[in-house]
Structure 1
């Protein structure tokens, strides 16, 4: 059994004996839903169990759901959350009030490469706090503005990286990229996954039912999943796809329009912004998880799908290739070719039916190796290597 230590970390222990405070800075957090938010939430909950205090500083609205501003201060699952005004692009939200919430931090942990990453580095003489950052895929999720992104990475990001004692890369592809600009300070800690949330919830009997979970983003290539469903339904009308997630640069209406145009209204369902209980209910009808994503920082959602006992069929991006190299229950499928992808699902169903495919129990067991218990321990090890903040 993996026991959690509750001892206060010595390297960050305050002189007055209080627990050390880690301030996490991120553009989005709960109630926003997504991989970034899940990672930070899970890490913070584990840190609380290990004797840290934690605070999350984030923007005061959910980017995907314009509406009323969120409370400026709230406690979420025991985590102090401070929300600040922002302006500009959701990819690079400008929020200078972040500097008001750092004075009592023992360590600042910045998540993702955006305004916060740059501003807190360039302003480090103002806040004078040691910092680490987690890359979360950088900003190369799509090929849009690829040339400009490369120039920015080699200049602005390289300079900003100098302000961080450690850059934590959450995938091998991130490590290869960021080692080009900060090799001696780069460490790889692949993301954990909440392997308990949907544990063993997949259909106990093989079912022609697929789920995909994630943001409604262009780079997730949900259009290819919808296109694949046409030949799949032609082969057998029992096939059904549940698209589960939160609106992003695509809305639920955008996806519904594609589904209607493809004549698949009876075979593809949209579930936007639903609670975990609803997700678990949909997983309970399914045997397969699909992702046609062109880019993933690590692929947390695929691990969560495995923890449910779903057979993953994934597009061969770098992150999914790495996962498939470790887990032969993962099938790599080129979703750019609809007929071939449909054939892969029929083949996977036949293997599930005759028992020649990986069993649900085996898939669940493999996912368990990504528990957040061990991942949080590695983050604590990184924190312990960072010198304490200067004392007044």
Structure 2
């Protein structure tokens, strides 16, 4: 199968399934998306025995596996060799594509959102390694406004300050009149939009129905149009301004080069660190990736208070680099005493979140240090399965 055949197959077979799956997931917005998506795929497969797309996809998967083995091994592999290697890899690699009807056995992710996925690159779709983002000059006021808007969007949460600045400069302002549609269902899409002002309604016409249905409402800080960029598929719905609105657009090339790459780099950066944290050793790569997506970073200088005794606690910290000490005043008015030391890979701040109480001690940076942290909501969502372990571990403070 040639590169052109692969591209045609992706566009005509895989993308329609992915588009329908992602659209339905966004419409339902399940608390735990992975089981929902698995269940949806299984239901589609069982409607008429098995969808033709699914049936053909499984055959293509086997063929692609064989081709990958040949390319990696530098020679031809017989069927038995491929099957032997596949049996071994299936046990080791959770990312391998399995038999679709068995998806009901999967029970992973516990979060409310999926992560930014990467576009497939190959002979048919070369990645631009020398990309330079466009620059559209903006006033300081506009930059400040855009920063405020992007702060409310998880899609841009992985960006470092430099990348965020590049994205802001690459965005173009677009004013919309009431009832104007920047996106129409079925059109090709090469930009996404972030809402700065106004409300926009998303309408979708389902197969067999003549009228559009309101499926979602976008408000300030919301992103729309990203599906076409994430999955290289036509627009899944139409978006209409309810009243006059202001949005900022970002083109596909800038999105791929900056936003997607930033999310990928962040995962790679944190994967080794999270693997070294004893608390997380029972988690698999998928679960660690979800934690990496949610982590934010703070740096502290020598003597800085990371936590203060008596303050409300809304963050769970992982000491990413450096050292810190915990001090506690056992009697009000007395000097705090050192009660614990922390090194790279240690965690703290969980007591206030587990017990919904003020901070029980101070944590002070000893030299320069960097901490990754989860907010209260992410802590409950991602580390909920470890709550028993965390509660048992509180004995270390006694």
TM-score between the two structures when normalised by the length of structure 2: 0.25
Which one has the bigger helix percentage? Answer: 2
Q: Say which one has the larger Rg.
A: 2
